[in-house]
Amino acid sequence: MTFAGQFTLLVIFLMLVALVLELLAPDAILFAALAALLLAGVITPAEALAGFANKGMMTVALLFIVAYGAQSSGALGFFAGRFMGRGLGLGRRDLLRMMLPVGLLSAFLNNTPIVSMFAPAVCEWARNHRRAPSKYLIPLSYAAILGGTCTLIGTSTNLLVNGMIVDAGGRSLGLFELAKAGLPCFLVGIIYIVLFGYRILPERKAVEAENQNRDYLFEMRVLEHGPLPGRSVTQAGLRHLNSVFLSEIIRGEKTIVPVRPDEILQAGDRLGFVGVAEGIAQLRRKAGLAPGDESGWPKLPDRQTAAGIIEAVVSRSSPMLDKTIKQGNFRGRYDAVVLAVRRHGERIHQGIGSIILKPGDTLLLLSGGDFLARWNNARDFYLVSKVGDMPVIDRKKTLLSFGVLLLMVLLAAFGVVDIFKAAVLAVLALLLSRAITVVEARRSLELNVLIVIAASLGISQALIKSGAAQYLAAGLLSLVSGWGGVGLLTAIYLMTSLLTEVITNNAAAALMFPVAWTAAGQSGFDPLPFAVAVALAASASFATPIGYQTNLMVYGPGNYRFADFLKIGLPMNLLMMLTAVTAIRLGWNF
């Protein structure tokens, strides 16, 4: 192997280490790897930038806008709330009622907004039926993942792989061609979840009548010029609260635990309350209290203040990542106060302002009534829901957005135009009909995902050009020597599946595609079915919460542990591999 090949493998190894350790955001890590390969002369500037002009990558960008049109109409949230509201609380039957429509929607829309709209409705439904949301949120994510494998536009990974197939000289996949393998995987996955997964899923924090929400740690501060300094806890009315209780007082370097009823409050005391989300309303009415590390409640018009309790989950695209709440100026940026933070289902026991935000953190916010309108469809948060809120549907926008979506699918399905041109027409229709504005279209683009895809394509090109892909393919063939095409297909699927559990799905697909394509060609097989295996395996991230963003979205709201994903996800991964390999072998000749 040449020096260029060795250098490429070294860069990719360091990139994988950085991704696993989460040293930086994935888009930054992949862009840095691409830059290293460019500066070392492994690839030319044209080759490095080719990914940014790739048809598959641009199709993903256009579909973000189309999906935003459907999401912003309110139809997804309305449908989710109404559909889950009709559930009977019968466990497996309601699980099936949820997973089937989610999978169907995910076949044509980006699964992130679908999970974002369904998750609050699922949680509310579970609480109303005295069931644990943890029994339903992982299946929600899995249904979205499985549904996305059934069509070419179901996931960005499918479009990425299709773009690489075309660049490698192969034919483009049809809109529904992946359904030959994706649909069997979807059906088998649904059966596994309903019959067996429901038992494996934890029933954590089952809903009780007196505790219908997750516990948070609220931090409040005693104002110097308020009525509370000099009063005891009992005199201040902080002893017998309905939904929260005073757990500690932090006074300078001293922590007072437990808090006695006759403890005298002092100006600047930081009070730690534990309780449910709705309990913050009681604290808000207490004169002399302000959110911890803030100067006071948001100065909002009176007509908005009643709408202020918001739960939001930090996304991978948030500009607040890896910053403390103070450093990121959360209040100035969003006009909202962070009251509490939960991570992986657990309260974070430290000062609110000093908490460094991570993807998947669940925030309890106090904001004005326009927060949902401004940020509900933004990429800063995965889930944004007002406690007790019901979505409002815009009928005109719903008809336009879903009509445009249907037209786009029909044009691509019947071969009138390819999916890229159909997506271009769809975006133009949405803009010209004013279903979305130009500003909204810009805001809908998930630049971090697009950068990952574009950079991955450049790194994939470096693997091929440097000879590293041929070297890895030869090693793979030596491992499966004598196993035939099915053995090679299984090995490629397994390697991709393992890789996607620890790094992003698009990066896993981009790294494995040149190896799979080269190995199939060297063995005399049609490379196309092996590329399909890469696409399916890259989306089959079930065993960890970090491998796929919908898993991360439900991680905190479901109060899950990492082990919960392993218990239900490892058998799921194995089952999907057996199903996919069998379906690919039968659906494509090689």
- Identity of residue 102: V
- d(C-alpha 513, C-alpha 388), whole Å: 46
Closest CA to 412 of 63, 61, 51: 63
φ, ψ at 484 (rounded to 5°): 80, -170
Residue pair 476/492 in contact by the 8 Å Cβ criterion: yes
CATH of 216-291, one of 3.30.70.1450, 3.40.190.10, 3.30.70.20, 1.10.287.3610: 3.30.70.1450
pLDDT for 293-336, tens place per residue? 554 444 433 333 434 567 788 887 788 888 888 888 887 788 77
- Where exactly are the structural domains of the chain? 216-291, 305-386
For the ranges 62-66, 126-130, 229-233, the lowest mean pLDDT is seen at: 126-130
Q: Would 216-291 and 305-386 be classified into the same CATH topology?
A: yes
Q: What is the mean pLDDT of residues 478-499?
A: 88
Q: What is the DSSP letter of 61?
A: H
For the ranges 210-219, 495-504, 533-542, the lowest mean pLDDT is seen at: 210-219
- Quote the pLDDT of residue 303: 34
Residue pair 331/337 in contact by the 8 Å Cβ criterion: yes
CATH of 305-386, one of 3.40.47.10, 3.30.70.1450, 1.20.120.400, 3.90.220.20: 3.30.70.1450
**Is the Cα dihedral 580, 584, 585, 590 positive or negative?**
negative
The mean pLDDT value of the chain amounts to 82
What radius of gyration, in Å, describes the C-alpha atoms of the chain?
25
Identify the band that residue 402 occupies on the pLDDT scale cut at 50, 70 and 90: confident
Residue pair 500/549 in contact by the 8 Å Cβ criterion: no
- pTM: predicted TM-score of the whole model, two decimal places: 0.71
For the chain, the distance separating the N- and C-terminal CA atoms, rounded to the nearest angstrom, is: 29
